Amino acid sequence: MPEGDVVAIGAPPTASARPAPKRRGYGVLAVLLGLTLSMLDQVIVGTALPTIVGELGGLKELSWVVTAYLVASAAVIPIWGKLSDLYGRRGTFITAIVVFLVGSLLSGLAQSMTQIIAFRALQGLGSAGLMVGTFTLIGHLATGPADRIRMQTMIGIVMPLAMGTGPMLGGLLTEHVGWRWSFFINIPLCLVALAASAVGIPRSPRRPKVRIDLLGSVQLTGGIVALTLLLSWAGTRYSWDSAPIIGLGVAAVVLLASLPLVERRAVEPILPSRLFHTRDFTLAQVLGLLVGAGLLGALVYFPQYLQQALDVSPTTSGLLLLPFLIGMIIMELVVARLVVRTGPLRLYPVVGAIVAVAGVLLLLLLGTGTGLVAATLLPLLAGLGIGVLMQSSLIISFACQTDQRNLGAASGMINLFRAVGGSLGVALLGSLYTSRLEHVLTSRLGAKDGHALAAASGQSTPADIRALPAQIREAFQAAVVAGLHSVVIGMAVIAVLALVTSFFLRRRLIIPGQPGQPGQPGQPGQPGRPRGSRDRNDAPFTPNAG
């Protein structure tokens, strides 16, 4: 999600330029490769999931191939930032590349769902370091504010490209050389990034007094994992009133509810309370969490429908996802430019949420007889709405931080909440999907045959499904559609929650030096407020639209 469009805000315009580090081009290449790897592996696995599950077994664990990556990434985002201060940005970034490389290699060699979930978690640990390293190294490599903006522009191009090409690349590799190459392809890229980092990133001074909030990190991770397991297992593996589910619920409540108390006592907390001094920043993080949940749900379960219900190849399913992703990317760029010309920021998330609700509900029209053109275009409106929500929540988050020292921490919070939302959303929507799939199969084929087919589907590739007898195949495809519809309803509820949240936003955008801007000190245009006054939610902010 393109933080690169706005993260350069607040760069002092009068800051003096400094000499470029030696071989800086290699350092920029390393940063762009690291960011590409981090973003690519969030989405490349989506089109490969049906084949992965079919070969390794375990339909009920499907969501965890994505969730493990996101949970691990979310848990250590703040820690990587501290480690870069403690041990230097260059060494920390190189370490993150190595961790990601090892995780990719092991994921490609995995022989069971348990193994691939564990190795995807290792990948997620490295991915968080790559993401954090990208934004911390911008200031380290840039020679001044203008150069920082140029680097942000490159990042703003690379991030959507990685997200847009990921599903198609995953489908191509899965279809022609095998799903394992969705992970093996990272190895040469990591090796190039390692060499470029060693040559092009200069050493940075350390801060020996940095303290890492290990207790807060462990507690946050435990709470997220407990809540994710609860949403994934409740009603499928265990009943809602079973001891494991009740235990997970108690653990999640205790760990997350007591986290603010622990963080207030921490010297350098992973969730700094100073960032949440305005209501708008807090609400923007809620929006980010909801957007992460809905976006990852679409990217994980829409390929399942395309490959299993419409019988398209992994490559084609990746291509069919492009309009959804392109619509999302276009609106992110459009919103980044429009906010410079208009004042009320709250307008954008409200409009984006309304469009997202309408777009998600359109997906209920998808069925077993849907043509490929309709299957391609129907998700477009949802992509447009999600793109508006993503960018507007990001801009609001940075607009709330008038202290330049908070920008890095704010960036970490944005990534953290989106990753948490993605992990929780994929788990919850996955539970809805498998539960509905089994219910439809048992109702159409009987309890015995239905449960048998549901269990067998966890070890069936799309090719195996095509080989089923016509009647059984039709029942299975109808069950897949029903499972997708349950996911769509869950996404619609998430979009409605985003809409309700948007109505509570108050932030207005002030463009320094723009005459007549509502809320601009000393300018007309805001009746009922004295000239020169400023609302506590009005803060100077200029987004970089890339």
Four-CA torsion 212, 216, 217, 220, nearest 10 degrees: -160
**543 pLDDT tier (thresholds 50, 70, 90):** very low
Left, alpha or beta for 520 (phi > 0: left; psi -120 to 50: alpha)? beta
Is residue 522's pLDDT more than 60? no
- pLDDT for residue 38: 85
* Rounded average pLDDT over 357-364: 93
- Residue 414 CA to residue 289 CA, distance in Å, equals 9
Is residue 50's pLDDT more than 80? no
- pLDDT for residue 141: 75
Q: Which of 422, 312, 434, 315 is nearest to 366 (CA)?
A: 312
Q: Among 66-75, 114-123, 527-536, which is the least confidently predicted range?
A: 527-536
- Residue 12 CA to residue 144 CA, distance in Å, equals 9
Q: Which residues pair with 510 in a beta bridge?
A: 540
- The pLDDT tens digits of the residues spanning 177-186 come to 888 998 999 9
- Residue 81 CA to residue 137 CA, distance in Å, equals 11
DSSP 240-260: TTSHHHHHHHHHHHHHHHSHH
> Structure pTM?
0.74
Q: Are 532 and 143 in contact (CB under 8 A)?
A: no
Task: Report the mean per-residue pLDDT for the chain.
Answer: 77
- The pLDDT tens digits of the residues spanning 220-266 come to 888 888 888 888 777 777 888 888 889 989 998 998 888 888 878 87
- pLDDT for residue 104: 93
**Helix H or strand E segment including 540:** strand 538-540
**147 pLDDT tier (thresholds 50, 70, 90):** low
List domains and CATH numbers for the chain.
1-9+20-204 (1.20.1250.20), 213-267 (no CATH), 274-435+492-511 (1.20.1250.20)
Residue 539 structure tokens: 């803060």
Q: Residue 128 — φ and ψ, nearest 5°?
A: -60, -40
- Give the helix ranges, DSSP H, for 403-459: 407-445, 447-457
Q: What secondary structure letter does DSSP report for 51?
A: H
**341 pLDDT tier (thresholds 50, 70, 90):** low
Kindly provide the b/e burial profile for residues 501-514, where b requires at least 16 CB atoms within 10 angstroms of the residue's own CB: bbeebbbbbbbeee
Kindly provide the b/e burial profile for residues 50-66, where b requires at least 16 CB atoms within 10 angstroms of the residue's own CB: bbbbbbbbbbbbbbbbb
- pLDDT for residue 89: 79
**56 pLDDT tier (thresholds 50, 70, 90):** confident
- Give the helix ranges, DSSP H, for 177-278: 181-184, 186-200, 214-233, 243-257, 259-265
Q: Are 127 and 73 in contact (CB under 8 A)?
A: yes
Amino acid at the residue 490: G
- pLDDT for residue 149: 59
- pLDDT for residue 338: 79
